[in-house]
Copies of this chain bind each other. A is one copy, B any other.
Amino acid sequence: MKTRKSLLSLLRIGLGTWLWAVGSASFADEGMWLYSDAPRALLKERYGFEVTPEWLEHLQKSSVRFNSGGSGSFISADGLILSNHHVGADTLQKVSNKEHDYLKNGFQAKSLAEEIKAPDLELNVLMSIEDVTARVNAAVPPGASDEDSFKARRAVMAAIEKESKDKTGERSDVVTLYQGGRYHLYRFKRYTDVRVVFAPEQQIAFYGGDPDNFEYPRFDLDVCFFRAYENGQPAKIEHYLKWSQSGTKDGDLIFVSGHPGRTSRLFTMAELEYVRDIQMPRTLQRLFRAEVNLLSYSERSQENARRAKEDLFGVQNSRKARKGGLAGLLDPELFEKKAAAEKALRKKMAAREDLRDTLAAYDRIAAAQKTIAANARAYNMLEGGGGFQSELFGIARTLLRAGEERPKPNGERLREFNEAGRESLELALFSDKPIYDDLEELLLTDSLTYLAEEMGASSPLVQKVLAGKSPAARAVELVKGTTVRDLAFRKKLYAGGQAAVDATSDPMIALARSVDGEARAVRKVMEAQGEAKQQAHAKIGQARFALEGTGSYPDATFTLRLAFGTVKGYEEAGQQIPAHTTFAGLYGRAREHDDRPPFDLPGIWTDAKAKIDLATPFNFVSTADIIGGNSGSPVVDRKGEFVGIIFDGNIQSLVLDFAYTDTQARAVSVDARGIVEALKKVYGATGLVKELETGKRGE
Residues of A within 8 A of B (CB): 209-211, 273, 276-277, 280-281, 284-285, 288-289, 291-292, 295-296, 299-302, 319-320, 326-327, 329-333, 449, 452-453, 456-458, 466, 468-473, 593-594, 596, 598
The answer to whether A332 touches B299 (Cβ under 8 A) is no
Known: A292-B288, A332-B468, A332-B470. A449 touches B326 (CB 8 A): yes
Closest CB in chain B relative to A441 CB, distance in Å: 13
Residues of chain B contacted by A471 (CB below 8 angstroms): 327, 330
The answer to whether A470 touches B292 (Cβ under 8 A) is no
The answer to whether A281 touches B453 (Cβ under 8 A) is yes
In the complex, 25 of the A-B residue pairs with CB atoms within 8 angstroms, ordered by the A residue number, are A211-B299, A273-B458, A276-B457, A277-B453, A277-B457, A277-B458, A281-B453, A284-B289, A284-B453, A285-B289, A288-B288, A288-B289, A291-B292, A292-B319, A299-B598, A301-B593, A302-B596, A327-B471, A327-B472, A330-B449, A330-B457, A331-B470, A331-B473, A332-B469, A333-B470
Residues of chain B contacted by A332 (CB below 8 angstroms): 466, 468-470
State how many copies of this chain the complex holds. Answer: 2
Q: How far is the CA of A470 from the CA of B211 in the complex (A)?
A: 22
Residues of chain B contacted by A457 (CB below 8 angstroms): 276-277, 329-330
User: Can you name 4 extra interface pairs (CB under 8 A) apart from A281-B453, A288-B292, A326-B449?
Assistant: A276-B457, A277-B453, A288-B288, A330-B471
Residues of chain B contacted by A276 (CB below 8 angstroms): 457
Closest CB in chain B relative to A652 CB, distance in Å: 12
Q: How far is the CA of A413 from the CA of B319 in the complex (A)?
A: 43
Q: How far is the CA of A594 from the CA of B470 in the complex (A)?
A: 35
Q: How far is the CA of A458 from the CA of B473 in the complex (A)?
A: 42
Q: How far is the CA of A598 from the CA of B300 in the complex (A)?
A: 8
Residues of chain B contacted by A468 (CB below 8 angstroms): 332
Closest to A596 in B: B302
Closest CB in chain B relative to A445 CB, distance in Å: 8
Closest CB in chain B relative to A273 CB, distance in Å: 7
Q: How far is the CA of A319 from the CA of B457 in the complex (A)?
A: 20
Closest CB in chain B relative to A519 CB, distance in Å: 22
Q: How far is the CA of A292 from the CA of B468 in the complex (A)?
A: 33
Q: How far is the CA of A288 from the CA of B319 in the complex (A)?
A: 12
Closest to A315 in B: B292
Q: How far is the CA of A209 from the CA of B276 in the complex (A)?
A: 36
Q: How far is the CA of A150 from the CA of B399 in the complex (A)?
A: 60
Residues of chain B contacted by A331 (CB below 8 angstroms): 470, 473
Q: How far is the CA of A449 from the CA of B331 in the complex (A)?
A: 11
Closest CB in chain B relative to A601 CB, distance in Å: 17
Q: How far is the CA of A281 from the CA of B466 in the complex (A)?
A: 18
